[in-house]
Amino acid sequence: MKKILYLFFAIFVTAIFRVSNAEETFSCSIEKQKGNYLRIDEPVYDTDDEIIVPQSEEYYMREVQQAFIFDYFYSKQQYDDNGNKMDLGTNILQIPLRRIDEKREISKAGNFYYYNFTITLHCNNDDTVDTHTFVPIIDTNNHGPFFGKPKYTYNLISSYAEDFKRQQLLNPIIATDYDVTNTAVKFNIEENNHFDIMYNGIVPNSLNKQHYALLTPKIPGKPITDKIEVIVTVTDMGFPSRSNVTKVEINPPSPPMPIFKSPFYVGHYYKNHTFVMHDNLELEEGCTFYSTTVEILVEDMRCQIFYATIVKDEIIINKSSKEYVNNFYEENYTVYKLKAKYTNPITNLFTVGTATFILEHHHDL
């Protein structure tokens, strides 16, 4: 048992020794490189089109033939404009960076943000060593916040504010700000009688770049009975601050369109001024919940001797006290248009549906 423990201890110590001396195992390296990790302390600005890192401190490479950083290239042998080889003298590492893209993932350690990349070293003996590097960022407010949509439209299915709350969950108002150090934004809404607005947190997995806005009713439980349009503004916390706007449109519920069960109905008119409808009119949705009216439309009101009444869910066409149809003997039939109208008693919004009423003239009876 003791031999096994001693063997295990020897393996453990050997492993620690190898890890602690891992940086010595590379065929080539960079000064201040520890293992395959190089720390750079001098920060860069995210607005610079192209910079050299570090600017005030030099890093020397040992046994390096050439190095690749992104799509930039470093070599001990470089050429001037005339194609002649240039002797650099020392193997100094220069790290040129393009403007930092804050849309990509950027690391955060404590209160600082870092830009990560890898330097690939091609050693003199043709080995390859990857050195992982990160550079601290000094963030500037070079991105303005913006909304996901220029206009958010909510068509409610009820007049209650809770319905609008559910609609916001399905179609959230989101503003994006790519500046990594702007960990929050501020929302404002134009003056209105219906809603306030509040900051509702960061969108999960968005790296502090996307933010929720939430409209809250000023009077809880107050029904939404009118169309509401408001302007919402998002402002970042940078200096100078930047802003953007969107429009929010809330449409209260409208009744469904009245639909007649048949596109046309036939009535019969006889020369003794008798009128008969074999089938009463019906609407598919029924007419008990909404305020319902039905009209018979004619171009000449003097010819309107028929009118519609509603009995429960049925629409009944009746003849007025006028004696006859003006063009009874000139035509075999007369065509009228039926118009049904649903009105929501809470919002007063309405919809209209139509059908055709054909009146047959029976001259021989």
Contact 235, 188 (CB under 8 A): yes
What CATH number should be reported for the domain holding residue 62? 2.60.40
Residues 113 and 184 in one domain: no
Average pLDDT, the chain: 82
Final residue of a structural domain among 74, 103, 138: 138
Q: Is the pLDDT of residue 55 over 60?
A: yes
SS (H, E, C) 189-222: ECCCCCEEEEEEEECCCCCCCEEEEEEEECCCCC
| Residue 14 belongs to a domain | no
Range with the poorest average pLDDT among 76-80, 220-224, 277-281, 318-322: 76-80
Proportion of the chain above pLDDT 70, given as a percent: 83
pLDDT for the residue numbered 19: 46
Residues 100 and 168 in one domain: no
Contact 199, 186 (CB under 8 A): yes
Contact 350, 228 (CB under 8 A): no
Q: In the numeric block, which tokens belong to residue 325?
A: 């149809």
Euclidean distance between the first and final Cα of the chain, in Å?
122
Domain that holds residue 354: 264-362
| DSSP label of 312 | T
Task: Kindly calculate the radius of gyration of the chain based on its CA atoms and give it in whole angstroms.
Answer: 40
| Residue 301 belongs to a domain | yes
| DSSP label of 50 | E
Residues 245 and 310 in one domain: no
Q: In the numeric block, which tokens belong to residue 97?
A: 């960076």
CA–CA separation, 317 vs 140, rounded Å?
Answer: 75
| Residue 219 belongs to a domain | yes
| Residue 17 belongs to a domain | no
Q: Is the pLDDT of residue 120 over 90?
A: yes
Average pLDDT over residues 350-365: 90
| Residue 347 belongs to a domain | yes
pLDDT for the residue numbered 1: 53
What CATH number should be reported for the domain holding residue 319? 2.60.40.60
3-state secondary structure of 331: coil
pTM for this predicted structure: 0.60
Largest CA distance in the chain: 125
CA–CA separation, 306 vs 297, rounded Å?
Answer: 10
Residues 326 and 356 in one domain: yes
pLDDT band at 8 (very low <50, low <70, confident <90, very high): very low
pLDDT for the residue numbered 83: 59
Residues 33 and 125 in one domain: yes
Residue 334 is which amino acid? T
3-state secondary structure of 101: coil
Average pLDDT over residues 64-77: 70
Q: Is the pLDDT of residue 291 over 80?
A: yes
3-state secondary structure of 1: coil
Alpha helices for the chain (secondary structure H): 2-20, 161-170
| Residue 19 belongs to a domain | no
Quick one: residue 183, left, alpha or beta (phi over 0 = left, psi -120 to 50 = alpha)?
alpha
Final residue of a structural domain among 87, 119, 138: 138
Contact 186, 235 (CB under 8 A): yes
| Residue 225 belongs to a domain | yes
Residue 297 is which amino acid? L
Contact 260, 341 (CB under 8 A): no
Structure-token match 């940086």, residue found: 23
pLDDT for the residue numbered 98: 79
Residues 279 and 303 in one domain: yes
Q: Is the pLDDT of residue 356 over 80?
A: yes
Write the pLDDT tens digit of every residue in 142-159: 889 999 999 999 988 877
3-state secondary structure of 136: strand
Q: Is the pLDDT of residue 280 over 90?
A: no
Q: Which of 165, 179, 164, 186 is nearest to 232 (CA)?
A: 186
pLDDT for the residue numbered 297: 86
Q: Dihedral, CA atoms, 204, 207, 208, 213, nearest 10 degrees?
A: -30
CA–CA separation, 338 vs 353, rounded Å?
Answer: 8
The angle formed by the CA atoms of residues 285, 287 and 289, to the nearest 5 degrees, is: 95
Contact 325, 359 (CB under 8 A): yes
Pairwise pLDDT comparison (249 vs 161), residue with the higher score: 249
Pairwise pLDDT comparison (92 vs 169), residue with the higher score: 169
Residues 170 and 244 in one domain: yes
Write the pLDDT tens digit of every residue in 75-95: 555 555 665 555 444 588 888
CA–CA separation, 39 vs 135, rounded Å?
Answer: 8
Q: How many domains in the chain?
A: 3
- Find which of 178-182, 258-262, 285-289, 310-314 is predicted with most confidence, using mean pLDDT: 258-262
Residues 326 and 227 in one domain: no
Residues 39 and 79 in one domain: yes
Residues 231 and 272 in one domain: no
Residues 245 and 286 in one domain: no
Final residue of a structural domain among 138, 155, 180: 138
Residues 295 and 227 in one domain: no
| Residue 124 belongs to a domain | yes
pLDDT for the residue numbered 73: 58
